[in-house]
Amino acid sequence: MDRVRARTAAALLVIAFAAAAAGCFASRRTLLKVGSEVEGKKVTLDERIFSGGIRIVGLWKADRYFKALGVPVFQVVEHDPDRLPILLVHGYNDNAKAMRYLGGLLDPDKFEPVYANYPTGLAIDKLAEGLAASVSKLAGEKKLDRMGVVAFSMGGLVARKFLGAWAGAGKETKMPIYISMAAPYGGIEVGSKLKSWRLYEPESWNDIAFGSAFLDHLYDEALPPETAFHLIYAVTEGKAAVPGVDDGVVSVASATRPQAVDEADTVSEIRACHHATLLEKKEPIMKVIEFLLAYDKAWRKSGTAPPPAAP
């Protein structure tokens, strides 16, 4: 068993060195060029900024990524005031492509996906600030009066911090619905263990480890008063990876941290689903869409919906 553990640790170190080396090849000039390719236009998720190489830079060279690109958000369709923009916030060591399946299943007559693409190695406070700056810019340019937020895994921590800061800043754009999927509101025990062998430690891992200062202050700012919050967590049928029941990565105790449950309007469990497949399976995605459609129906019934856009 010790030999297996040693081999596993060695393999992980090789992967870490390879990833770090790959990240070093993307210079600030390259990142700026990648950013200029998508600036101010509708995009597809096949743009270079969504490539694996840029994702690796966002993990291992997060400061370089952030200084060059910030925390960009991207439209894939033109805004129509009769539709609700949905800000999709991906998880750790990933990028906007992870949210492609969900974004593609949104009703195009009612919703329009807006993809966040953040450097996952950065401190979450910085990520939330950068996200707020990008959303504020987009909201001003497109005159957005409202926006929904759907976030996965660590993206839920980014989104929750962002929403608290958004409310505190008194922004005009309303955030009427927030849905989180398998967010580690109480931290990740696995992340705490992995800190023992890593030669390089992304700032975000310090934030999501149990007992971090970030988690202690996550609820210092309340959600916007208009925000309906729907919390979704998963439970896998496999052997628990962390103490207690879990989804293979995040424990139920973490996903259902009391402060999160207290502010949630609904709490939903997805059974027999691993953390890594939540964004790939239809059941959890349809649960998200169910909440979005219920909000849209109520919004239209209230009579506040603007007239359809002119053809």
Is residue 15, in this structure, part of any structural domain at all? no
* Domain span including residue 237: 71-301
Tell me, what CATH number does 259's domain have? 3.40.50.1820
Q: Is the pLDDT of residue 307 over 60?
A: no
pLDDT tens digits, 100-157: 999 999 999 999 999 999 999 999 999 999 999 999 999 999 999 999 999 999 999 9
Name the average pLDDT for the chain.
87
Rounded to whole angstroms, the Cα distance separating 91 from 81 reads 28
Is residue 116, in this structure, part of any structural domain at all? yes
pLDDT tens digits, 245-264: 689 899 999 999 999 999 99
Is residue 88, in this structure, part of any structural domain at all? yes
Rounded to whole angstroms, the Cα distance separating 75 from 6 reads 45
Which residues face 235 on adjacent strands?
Answer: 271
Q: Is the pLDDT of residue 194 over 90?
A: no
Tell me the whole-structure pTM to 2 decimals: 0.88
Q: 183: which 2 tokens?
A: 């967010």
Is residue 310, in this structure, part of any structural domain at all? no
Is residue 9, in this structure, part of any structural domain at all? no
Rounded to whole angstroms, the Cα distance separating 12 from 34 reads 29
Rounded to whole angstroms, the Cα distance separating 233 from 224 reads 22
Q: How many structural domains is the chain composed of? A: 1
Is residue 252, in this structure, part of any structural domain at all? yes
Q: Is the pLDDT of residue 208 over 90?
A: yes
Rounded to whole angstroms, the Cα distance separating 208 from 212 reads 7
Rounded to whole angstroms, the Cα distance separating 285 from 118 reads 22
Is residue 306, in this structure, part of any structural domain at all? no
pLDDT tens digits, 56-70: 999 999 999 999 999
Is residue 308, in this structure, part of any structural domain at all? no
Beta carbons of 305 and 299 less than 8 angstroms apart: yes
